[in-house]
Structures are given as C-alpha cells and as structure tokens.
Structure 1
Amino acid sequence: MNRSGLALALLSAVLFGASTPFAKLLLGGMPAQMAAGLLYLGSGLGLAVVLGARAALRLPTHDEAPLGGRDLPWLLGVIATGGVGGPLLLMLGLARTDAASASLLLNMESIATLLIAWVVFRENVDRRLLIGAACIVAGAAVLSWQGRAMFSTGALYIVGACVCWGIDNNLSGRLSAVDPVRIAMLKGLVAGCVNMGLALTFLHAGLPGAALVAGAMAVGFAGYGVSLVAFMLGLRHLGAARTGAYFALAPFVGAVVSLAVFGVHDAGRLAMAGVLMGIGLWLHLSERHDHEHIHEEMAHTHRHVHDEHHQHTHTHDDPPGEPHTHYHVHTRLVHTHPHYPDLHHRHSHDGHGPHDHGPDGQDHTHAA
C-alpha cells in the first residue's frame, strides 16, 4: 500500500470526523445554511492565509503545479457539484428529514464515489476492495442507525447531495496533480459565499456573535479546509475509490470523539462499527495489485521526485533539488510492480488499453 496516500486519506477522515461533534456544539443555534457558510468560509479564508504565508516564506510546498486552462472544466465541475450542488441539496433534505435518517443516508457518499470511479472513470475495483468498502460503509451505517429510516422527498435530496459529492470526489481526482491548497481554497470560498447568501437573503438569518463565528470558522478550517487538502493529496496517490472508502471512517472518528469528550454515544454500537470498519480497513491494507503494464509516452506538470516513473533529463531552466515541479515528458515504459490508480496508473484492466485523460487533460494512454 502507498503509505503516504493511506496516511493522507486517514488524516482527512480524522479531521473531518473529529470536527463534526464540535461543529454541532458550536452551531446548534443557527440555520443550517448559516452554519455551512461559516464552515466553508473558515476553510477558504484559512487556506488563503496559508497560501499567502507559503509564498512569502517560500516553504518547500510553494512550487505545487499551478492551475492551467485545461484544469478549468474540472475545477468548475468540482465547485458546482461539491461547493454548490451538494450543500444546497443537503440543506433541502435536512429541512424535510429527521437527523437520524439524514446521518444514515449520508453514508451514500462513499458508495457514490466508488461506483462513479468504477463505472465512469474505470478505476480498478476488485472484489476485495468492494467487500472492504461495504464493511466500512456498514460500520458507518451501524453508527447512524436509529431503528428506522425515512425514505421521503427529503431522503431523495440527501441522496442527490451524496451523488454530487461522489462526482466532486472523482472530478477532484482529475485535479490531483494541481496545488490542492488552491483548489480547496477556491471551493471553500465559493461554497461559503453561496451558503451565506442563501442564509442572509432567503432565510433572513442574522450573523451570530463574534466568538461563535470565530469558533465555527476555526472548525471549518481544520475539518473542511485542511481535511480537503489531505483528501486531494490522497487522491493523487490512491485514486477516488480507495480514498473515498477511507474517508467513510469519518463517522467512526466523530463517534469516538463524541464518546470521549462529550460522553455521547452507544459504546456497544461503537464497538460493533469498529469491528466492521477494522475488517474493511484490513481488506484494503492487505490488497496487492501487481501486473505488467505499459506507460505510453506522456507529458504533464506536477510535483515529483526522480523515481522509476520520472527518469527524464533537466534543462538549465528546470528547478534544482527534489521534490520539484516542472513540465516533463515520460518515455514509454513497460514494467511490473505493485501499484494503485494514482497519477501514473490510471490504466484499463480489460486488455484493450483505452485512452485515459489524466488530470492535466493530456492523453495518458496505458495498456494492461
């Protein structure tokens, strides 16, 4: 398993899951749109500060690949589905559905992410991965189940929100070579402004007190901003299906925090969910995907080191040291090693080797 990708995906789940109980504690007295707006704005504004500080101090990560013209359609899709469509449908659903049913239905995001990755973007998803993902989602369902589920118009809105976020997660994978801080910042600012606009314009809601606003934005920065950056870096290493499955651990983290800090949750159900999720995680961690595959010639820009996939010469204009970011050409390569659907391994497994357009819009043809 790609250890960096695993650590980043789990960090994303931990940050988002741990932020949920605190978000409920801080934001219980305001409309859902106002709460969502403050959380997303905290994410966007916090990451804007990070971007500025990173550039001013020339920290090692300041040279991530910039957004290019070919990235624009993917970026607009991410913002439209994940920053606008998902939150809006969720708010409509929450207004028509009880909290227990809503929590259960939100587990559909991981399922939607995996199915879209498998069917639409043709990521390799074998039986082991499917069973592992099913165990993780089942564990999340155990945590959310309250003895009944309401399938109503509100439920359809929430399922629609999960589909939007599933699309968002997969489109974000097309952008995983680009600076994740910049992507997450733009998404946070747009989503925050849209939700705040809805709250102020249509609900005529007023801003809460300064302390509550600051607390909400701090939670949003960690649980939405930093978490999203880690999620996108996980996509870079693991692909959407696996990163989405690990992110489904977030409800378990939230339940553990609720139990430890606030004394809220059923310890028996928490233990049962932990067993199911542990089985799913083990199935994923013990996965080994290894076969001969062909990397056809390709060219793109992203942050990299000179590993076996990056054996290229430098010109005097290219940056020194590693890791570094510059436009480079991959020569044709045939080899066998364990791999996952990262930036350089989004190839077909049907024996026909169709063209796969990677996150930079270039033709990333691979044959298996």
Structure 2
Amino acid sequence: MKHAQSHLWPGVPLALLSAVLFGAAAPFAKLLLGVMPPQMLAGLLYLGAGIGLAAVQGGRMALGLPTPEAPLRRHDRPWLAAVVLFGGVAGPLLLMLGLTRSSAASGSLLLNLEGLATLLIAWVVFRENVDRRLMLGAFSILAGAAVLSWGGEGVRLDAGAALIAAACLAWGIDNNLTRKLSSADPLATATIKGLVAGSVNVGLALVLGASVPSAATIGMAAVVGFLGVGVSLVLFMLALRHLGAARTGAYFSLAPFIGAVIAVSLLHEPVTAQLVVAGLLMGVGLCLHLAERHEHEHVHGVLEHEHVHVHDEHHQHHHDGPVVEPHSHWHRHAPLRHTHPHYPDLHHQHGHR
C-alpha cells in the first residue's frame, strides 16, 4: 500500500514546482526586455542563477552543513559539457538568432516544440516507456501552450522558424542528457551551467554591441534568474531522478500557463478566451498524467551506481557501522523481481514489449 500512495511523490511536485518558478519568471523577464536586448537578458539570467547557487553552496560549506548528495565524478564531465553546450549556449543563441528573423507569434508557438522534442527523444533514443495516456496528456498540455501563445499570425516556416525549432531541439537534447547527471548533486551541476552559459551569453551580447545595464537592472535580472532559472533547474533535475525525461518535460510544459496566470494576477493583464481554453487543455493533460499508474512485475538486474538514498525496498545493502539517512555512496543492487507502481526513474529503466 505504501507504493500505491507514494509513486507520485516526490517527482510530480518537484516537476510542477520547477514549472511554477520558471513560468513565474516569464512576466518579470518580459518587463526587463524593455531595457536590454534578449541575449544580454538571457546571459544575466543564467549568471544570476549560477552566482546565486554558488552563494548557496558557499553558505552551506561555511556553516558546515553536510550534504548527502553524490558529487560530480570524472565520468560525468562529458555529460556536463554537453548539457552546458546544448542547453546553456546553443539553445539561447539559436533562439536569439531565430527571434530576430521571425515574428513574436511564430516564436512563441514554436517554443512549445521543446516539450515535444524532450518526449520524443526520451521515447525514441533513450527508450523510456511512453504509453497512450502519457502521450495524450503531453499533447493536450502542448496544445494548451500553443493556444496560449497563438497570436493570430500563424506559423511562418522561414529561416527564423528553423532556428527556433533548432533551439527547441537543443533544449530537448539538454533535458535528456541532464538525466544522465540527475544522480549527482543538482546544485553543483546547475551552478556550473549557469556560470558558464551566463558568461558566454553576456560576452556574445557585448561583442554584438549591447551596453551594460544599470546596477539595479542587473540585480533584478539576477534575482529572477536565481529563482526562475537556477532553483527551477535544481528542482527539474531532482524530478528527473524520479520521473524520467519524458514525464518531467511534460509537466514542465505547464510553465507558459503558469506565467500567463501570474501576469493576469500581478500585471493586471486581461483574462482572455485563449487563457481559459489553454487552461482547460492543460488541466486535461495534467489529469491524464496524474491518473497514470504504471505497474507490472519487473526485474532489476545487477546495478552499481552512486546517489543519495535511504534503505528502502531497492536499497538493502550492508554498512559496517551506524548510518545517517539519507546518505550517498557507491553501492551495488542485487537482482530483484517484484511488482509496484513506478516511473522510469534511476532504478526502473527496463524495456517493455
């Protein structure tokens, strides 16, 4: 009975909270776009995320607070480099180039391809289990996002559209590759990604002729970036551990609707038919996902890895002395056959017929 009550926890709340923070950042970032070019803003948001998370890490170390998370290892470096390249550098750069060659309406609609790209890559390349309910829910959420961003101009399939679609593909790859790092400390990964990607984008913006914003504007961008990019990314990585890339990406696709609701509440934007229809479609998609119950007899083969854990049904290894849970260390899983509801998390990456 324990599994029946807990298979949604904590992955689903983590993914939804990540979407809330990212979606909430959108209306505030929109205000900042009035005083700086998009690439400078993207760079400052990522830098704010990296610096803020680095400060959290520094404070944790200064206070002597222990962390049970597994550290990044040498074998994680190629994945980390790929995540920074695709998600932190290529994605924002392709988006900025695309937006300068495309209309705002087309750009908004095409950005919804990120969720679809994440799901398809997870399904086709990484063989995550994707059933009919998940697919219908994901398309319902994406349809809601498309309705929300529809500007009446349609989608123009020009060079700008191709660049924006390429940006979404880069972020879809990034989301799936980030799963490879989800067993390690997400704070360290997000800090490195923010600092490197932010520095690159700010540098490119300055080379392209952008001026340095005022200190107050930089501070505002840093706060928005810390919460909307940094903390959101940490939560996204934690959700990846429990849900896999396809489901985490689908829940994260709720971010545009969350941003629109906040814009209505805080910026007093009007409640439109688009917002209502988008909310209904996304609500249907969310209900389909929450109702998903993937349960069957499955076999766990021998597995060795490192991540934070407690001694639950999947972790029955021996310790020589007393332990404090949760903790992290390299451990070995013996073969196990059982039945319970599960997602394609760190321990359930088996195939399906």
Give TM class, smaller chain.
over 0.9
Residue aligning to 1:18 = 24
TM-score normalised by length of structure 1:
0.92
Q: Indicate yes or no: 2:111 matched with 1:106.
A: yes
- Distance, in Å, in 2 between the alignment partners of 1:127 and 1:269 is 26
Q: CA deviation at 1:262?
A: 1.0
- Distance, in Å, in 2 between the alignment partners of 1:58 and 1:308 is 31
Q: CA deviation at 1:267?
A: 2.6
Give the conservation status (yes or no) of the 8 Å contact 1:339–1:345: yes
Residue aligning to 1:299 = 304
Give the conservation status (yes or no) of the 8 Å contact 1:100–1:146: yes
- Distance, in Å, in 1 between the alignment partners of 2:48 and 2:168 is 22
The one-letter code matched in structure 2 to 1:84 is V
In structure 2, which of residues 46, 58, 62 is the aligned counterpart of residue 52 of structure 1? Answer: 58
Residue aligning to 2:101 = 96
In structure 2, which of residues 259, 284, 287 is the aligned counterpart of residue 254 of structure 1? Answer: 259
The one-letter code matched in structure 1 to 2:260 is A
Give the conservation status (yes or no) of the 8 Å contact 2:48–2:225: yes
The one-letter code matched in structure 1 to 2:346 is L
Q: CA deviation at 1:26?
A: 2.0
Q: Indicate yes or no: 2:352 matched with 1:349.
A: yes
Residue aligning to 1:232 = 237
Q: Indicate yes or no: 2:175 matched with 1:169.
A: yes
**Bigger shift: residues 161-170 or 203-212:** 203-212
Other structure's SS at 2:329 match: strand
Deviations, residues 74-99 of structure 1 (Å, cap 9, x unaligned): 11111110011101101100111111
Deviations, residues 179-220 of structure 1 (Å, cap 9, x unaligned): 00110111111110110111111x221111110000001000
- Distance, in Å, in 2 between the alignment partners of 1:153 and 1:50 is 41
- Distance, in Å, in 1 between the alignment partners of 2:345 and 2:61 is 27
Give the conservation status (yes or no) of the 8 Å contact 2:23–2:228: yes
Q: Indicate yes or no: 2:332 matched with 1:310.
A: no
The one-letter code matched in structure 2 to 1:347 is H
Deviations, residues 255-289 of structure 1 (Å, cap 9, x unaligned): 00111111224432111111100100000000011
- Distance, in Å, in 1 between the alignment partners of 2:18 and 2:165 is 22
- Distance, in Å, in 2 between the alignment partners of 1:31 and 1:168 is 24
- Distance, in Å, in 2 between the alignment partners of 1:29 and 1:218 is 16
- Distance, in Å, in 2 between the alignment partners of 1:241 and 1:187 is 21
- Distance, in Å, in 2 between the alignment partners of 1:117 and 1:144 is 25
- Distance, in Å, in 2 between the alignment partners of 1:305 and 1:184 is 24
Q: CA deviation at 1:103?
A: 0.8
In structure 2, which of residues 188, 192, 215 is the aligned counterpart of residue 182 of structure 1? Answer: 188
Count of aligned pairs between the two proteins:
346
Unmatched segments (≥5 aa) in structure 2: 1-6
List 4+ stretches of structure 1 deviating above 6 A. none
Q: Indicate yes or no: 2:137 matched with 1:132.
A: yes
- Distance, in Å, in 2 between the alignment partners of 1:183 and 1:173 is 11
Map 1:269-284; keep pairs closer than 5 Å: 269-284=274-289
- Distance, in Å, in 1 between the alignment partners of 2:270 and 2:313 is 48
Residue aligning to 2:3 = none
Give the conservation status (yes or no) of the 8 Å contact 2:32–2:41: no
Give the conservation status (yes or no) of the 8 Å contact 1:118–1:124: yes
Residue aligning to 1:360 = none
Give the conservation status (yes or no) of the 8 Å contact 1:255–1:265: no
**Bigger shift: residues 282-291 or 142-151:** 142-151
- Distance, in Å, in 2 between the alignment partners of 1:100 and 1:177 is 38
Other structure's SS at 2:34 match: coil
- Distance, in Å, in 1 between the alignment partners of 2:283 and 2:230 is 27
Q: CA deviation at 1:149?
A: 1.8
Residue aligning to 2:35 = 29
Q: CA deviation at 1:63?
A: 2.7
- Distance, in Å, in 2 between the alignment partners of 1:70 and 1:174 is 11
**CA RMSD between the two structures:** 1.1
In structure 1, which of residues 178, 192, 196 is the aligned counterpart of residue 198 of structure 2? Answer: 192
Give the conservation status (yes or no) of the 8 Å contact 1:27–1:216: no
In structure 2, which of residues 332, 335, 351 is the aligned counterpart of residue 332 of structure 1? Answer: 335
**Bigger shift: residues 220-229 or 73-82:** 73-82
In structure 1, which of residues 135, 141, 159 is the aligned counterpart of residue 146 of structure 2? Answer: 141
